[in-house]
Amino acid sequence: MAAPRTMFEKIWSRHVVAEGAGDMSLLYIDRLLMHDGAVHTFGRLRASGRAVRRPEAIVATADHYVPTAGGEAAGADPAIRAMVDGMARHTGELGIPYFGPGDPRQGIVHVMGPEQGFTVPGITLVCGDSHTATHGAFGCLAFGIGASEVEHVLATSCLWQRKPRAMRIRVDGVRPPGVAAKDVILAVIARISAAGGTGHVIEYAGAAIAAMSMDERMTVCNMSIEAGARAGMVAPDATTYAFLAGRPFAPAGEGWDQALASWQTLPSDAGAAFDTEVALDASALAPTVTWGTSPQEALPITGRVPDPADTADPARRAAIERMLAYMGLAANTPLTAIRIDRVFIGSCTNSRLEDLRAAAEVVRGRRTVVPAWAVPGSGLIKQAAEAEGLDRVFREAGFEWRAPGCSMCIGMNGDTGRPGERVASTSNRNFEGRQGKGVRTHLMSPAMAAAAAVTGRLTDVRALGAAGA
C-alpha cells in the first residue's frame, strides 16, 4: 500500500514537470489571476517579444489602483488611472478575460476568483499578490509570487519552485459567540509568530475549520502569509462543492462529475506525516485585536498593551518599544481604552457578504461616532448586500458605502488615513505606513470593527449589548 500522503503532497506531485538541479522542481501552473498592479509585467513580457503561452488560463481584474469613491475614477491621480487603463488595454490585446471598473464582476482579485468559480480544488494557482493564499480555502495549492515570476508563468505556464514543508494547524472545539474566523487566524499568528510558517504550506484542519463557511475559510487562509507561509489550505468537502456548483467558470455537467471524483481524493490520508503540527482550541478564543506593527502582535480584547519592562530579551524589548512609539500607545493600557479615529471594513480578508452581514448586525440601529467605510469585495457582493438592504443599514448608521477595491488595505489608490490617525481595520496588515504614512492600524474582525465604529474605541463586541440599550 502506498504511504499516506498530505493533500499538499498529492497536489504538488501531480504538477511536477521536471526536476532541476538541487531540490528545485519545474511546477506546472494551472491558473493565473492578475490585477492592475501587473501592468508593467505585461509591458516587459511584450517588450521581450514573448507570447502569453496560455491566455485561456488567466482571468484579470482591477483592484489595487481602483478608487472606491464611486463614479468613473473622476479626479484620480493620472498615474494611478494609467494602471487601470493599462490593464484594460493589455488584456484586450492579449485576449484575456478582464473584469474592469463598471463590470459587476470586478472586485478584489481574491474575492473575484472564487466568486467566479475560477478557483477550484486540486489546482495550482498563482497571482502576483501575497494574499493568493486565500484560494487554498478550496483545497488547491495557491501562492503569491513576484513580478518576474508572473512574467515567467505568462511565458511558460510553469515556475521553478523548491518544495515547501508541510505544517498542519488543527483547530478543534466550537467558537464561542462573538469569535469570528478572523479571531481564529489572528490567534494562530500570535501563537506561531509572523515567521512561524516560513518555508511551509499550512493545512488548516479540525472541527472548527470543518464547521466554517467558505467565506470564513478564505479569511483564515488569506492571512497564512502573515504567519510566513506562502500557502494555506483546507480540505475540500460538501461546503466547498456547494459553494462552487453553478459558478461561471466551475466545471459543469459531465465535467462536474469528473471534477468531484478527483476532488474527493484530495484530503490528506489518515496517518499522513506533517513536518510541523500545531493545535488550538477554538472554544478558548476571544475576540482579538492587534496592538503593534506586525500581525503577530495580537491579544484578546480583554487584555492590555504589553509592557516592555516585562520582557527579558533586549531585542524583543526594543521591538516592543519601537512599536509602542509608532502606535502612540502606553504600556499596560487596557485595549478597550484605546480610542480610534476611523474604521475600515473591507479587504481580501473581510469584504465578503458574510463579513458585511456580521458588521451590519452590529451597527443596525446605532450611530458611528468616527468616519467609517464599508468597502464590498466585488460588484456582485455589493449588489447582493444591497438586495438585503445592508447598504441602508450602513448608511443609516453613518458609514460610507463604497465601490469595490483594495481601498484602505493597501493605500495606493488614494484611500489612506492621515498621519497619526488610528484605524480599526478588518484588513490583514498593521505594518508601519500600510494604510498611509504614519497611520496606526489595529486589525480585527468585521463585528469588532463595527463595534469600534459605534463607540469610538476598541470594544469587546460581546459586551455591546442590544442596539439602543
Asked whether the beta carbons of 437 and 408 are under 8 A apart, the reply is no
For other proteins, give the closer residue by CB, 140 or 363.
140
Residues between 428 and 447 that touch other proteins (CB under 8 A): 429, 431-434, 437
Among 1, 2, 3, 21, which residue interacts with other proteins (rule: CB under 8 A)?
Answer: 21
Q: Which stretch binds other proteins (CB under 8 A): 28-36, 299-307, 333-341, 363-371?
A: 28-36
The minimum distance between CB 56 and other proteins, in angstroms, equals: 6
Three-class secondary structure assignment of the chain: CCCCCCHHHHHHHCCEEEECCCCEEEEECCEEEECHHHHHHHHHHHHCCCCCCCHHHEEEECCCCCCCCCCCCCCCCHHHHHHHHHHHHHHHHHCCCEECCCCCCCECHHHHHHHCCCCCCCCEEEECCHHHHHHHHHCCEEEECCHHHHHHHHHHCEEEEECCEEEEEEEECCCCCCCCHHHHHHHHHHHHCCCCCCCEEEEEECHHHHCCCHHHHHHHHHHHHHHCCCEEEECCCHHHHHHHCCCCCCCCCHHHHHHHHHHCCCCCCCCCCCCEEEEEEHHHCCCEEECCCCCCCEEECCCECCCHHHCCCHHHHHHHHHHHHHHCCCCCCEHHHCECCEEEECCCCCCCHHHHHHHHHHHCCCCCCCCEEECCCEHHHHHHHHHCCHHHHHHHHCCEECCCCCHHHCCCCCCCCCCCCEEEECCCCCCCCCCCCCCEEEECCHHHHHHHHHHCECCCHHHCCCCCC
Asked whether the beta carbons of 48 and 37 are under 8 A apart, the reply is no
Among 128, 136, 267, 404, which residue interacts with other proteins (rule: CB under 8 A)?
Answer: 128
The minimum distance between CB 39 and other proteins, in angstroms, equals: 8
Where does residue 367 rank: exposed (0-12), middle (13-18), buried (19+ CB within 10 A)?
exposed
For other proteins, give the closer residue by CB, 215 or 226.
226
Set of cell numbers at residue 462: 460581546
**φ, ψ at 449 (rounded to 5°):** -65, -40
Which x/- pattern, by CB under 8 A, does the window 35-64 give for other proteins?
--x--x-------x-x-----xx-------
Sequence-distant (6+) residues with CB within 8 A of 346 are: 373, 374, 375, 376, 377, 402, 407, 408, 409, 426, 427
For other proteins, give the closer residue by CB, 342 or 429.
429
Relative to beta strand 158-162, strand 24-28 is antiparallel
Residues between 75 and 114 that touch other proteins (CB under 8 A): 79-80, 82-83, 97
The minimum distance between CB 276 and other proteins, in angstroms, equals: 15
The minimum distance between CB 262 and other proteins, in angstroms, equals: 6
For other proteins, give the closer residue by CB, 165 or 392.
165
Residues between 59 and 78 that touch other proteins (CB under 8 A): 65
Residues between 161 and 180 that touch other proteins (CB under 8 A): 162, 164
Among 70, 104, 160, 242, which residue interacts with other proteins (rule: CB under 8 A)?
Answer: 160
For other proteins, give the closer residue by CB, 371 or 414.
414
For other proteins, give the closer residue by CB, 155 or 384.
155
Residues between 183 and 212 that touch other proteins (CB under 8 A): 194-195, 198-199
The minimum distance between CB 390 and other proteins, in angstroms, equals: 26
Among 88, 237, 256, 286, which residue interacts with other proteins (rule: CB under 8 A)?
Answer: 256
Set of cell numbers at residue 40: 508593467
Residues between 401 and 430 that touch other proteins (CB under 8 A): 410-412, 429
Task: Quote the CA–CA distance of 63 and 44 in Å, as a whole number.
Answer: 21
Which x/- pattern, by CB under 8 A, does the window 135-154 give for other proteins?
---------xxxxxx-xx--
Q: Which stretch binds other proteins (CB under 8 A): 22-30, 68-76, 182-190, 265-273?
A: 22-30
The minimum distance between CB 190 and other proteins, in angstroms, equals: 13
Can residue 258 be called a binding residue for other proteins (CB under 8 A)? yes
The minimum distance between CB 438 and other proteins, in angstroms, equals: 8
Residues between 277 and 336 that touch other proteins (CB under 8 A): 294, 296, 315, 318-319, 322
Among 69, 206, 211, 249, which residue interacts with other proteins (rule: CB under 8 A)?
Answer: 249
The minimum distance between CB 432 and other proteins, in angstroms, equals: 6
For other proteins, give the closer residue by CB, 80 or 186.
80
The minimum distance between CB 300 and other proteins, in angstroms, equals: 22
Among 69, 88, 252, 369, which residue interacts with other proteins (rule: CB under 8 A)?
Answer: 252
For other proteins, give the closer residue by CB, 79 or 469.
79
For other proteins, give the closer residue by CB, 36 or 460.
36
Residues between 352 and 381 that touch other proteins (CB under 8 A): none
